[in-house]
Amino acid sequence: MIKLKNILNDAKTLDPNQDLKINGALVSMLKRAGFQVKSFKATKKGYNEMWSGEFKTKNAILPMSVNKYGDVFYQDTNIGRIDKSSKIIDWLKSIKRNNKWAESANEEIDKDGNVHAKTKKELKAAMAKAIKIILSGKVPQFDIINGMTGEMIAWSEKKNEYIWQPSAIPYAERELK
């Protein structure tokens, strides 16, 4: 983990050669907010910007920049300071929550990590993810739940057992859009 407090110097401004630290800190914040960062592309710096770039996720390009005082901008909106990550992470979570384009399989995940699929696409994505984990020799640690009725489709019973309810799958596919 990058020490964000160490990025700003005594004068409370960023040093000009800290691009990698800023990039690493923002990638860490994006991951903690739930984004899957695929790539990064540096962009032309604007007036008073120390760092500028675009993060690419599955379906979105997130333009971000940081000024010399450590303020982080998403598009043209100030979303917080680089050394105070919790505010930035909250902003990024709200961006993901309020924009359909932010991630393709934007299924709702509760605090226990359970997937509440509200569309057929989300259901199929969650099932594919579970099958991929099973084929790798591991047990998925999340439950798949029909987001419309609350019916369990698959769940982990113990650390080494994953239960499927095959009869629930066709019903969920009929109910979900």
Of 98, 127, 153, the last residue of a domain is 98
Q: Are residues 14 and 86 in the same domain?
A: yes
67 with 119, same domain: the answer is no
* Sign (positive or negative) of CA dihedral 79, 83, 87, 90: positive
Residues 112 and 91 in one domain: no
Does the structure show a pLDDT above 60 at 4?
Answer: no
**Which strand (E) or helix (H) includes residue 54?**
strand 49-56
Has residue 72 got a pLDDT over 80?
A: yes
Instruction: Give the chain's end-to-end CA distance (angstroms, integer).
Output: 41
Question: Is residue 153 one of the residues assigned to a domain?
Answer: yes
Within-domain flag for 103: no
- Mean per-residue pLDDT, 64-79: 84
- Are 115 and 51 contained in the same domain? no
Mean pLDDT of 5-16: 55
- Same domain? For 120 and 169 the reply is yes
pLDDT confidence bin for 11, thresholds 50/70/90: very low
Mean predicted lDDT score pLDDT of the chain: 76
Same domain, residue pair 91 and 129: no
75 in Cβ contact with 52 (< 8 Å): no
Percent of the chain with pLDDT over 70: 80
Structurally, how many domains does the chain consist of?
2
pLDDT-derived band at 12, boundaries 50, 70, 90 = low
Last-in-domain residue among 98, 127, 161: 98
Is the pLDDT at 53 greater than 60? The verdict is yes
In a domain, 83, yes or no: yes
Which of 74, 98, 122 terminates a domain? The answer is 98
Query: What six digits make up the tokens of 111?
Result: 């605090």
Asked if residue 118 has pLDDT above 70, the reply is yes
The pLDDT tens digits for 80-112 are: 888 888 888 888 888 777 665 544 444 566 656
Q: Residue 90: which residues within 8 A CB-CB, separation 6 or more?
A: none
Interatomic CA distance for residues 125 and 54, integer angstroms: 26
Domain that holds residue 166: 108-175
78 in the same domain as 26: yes
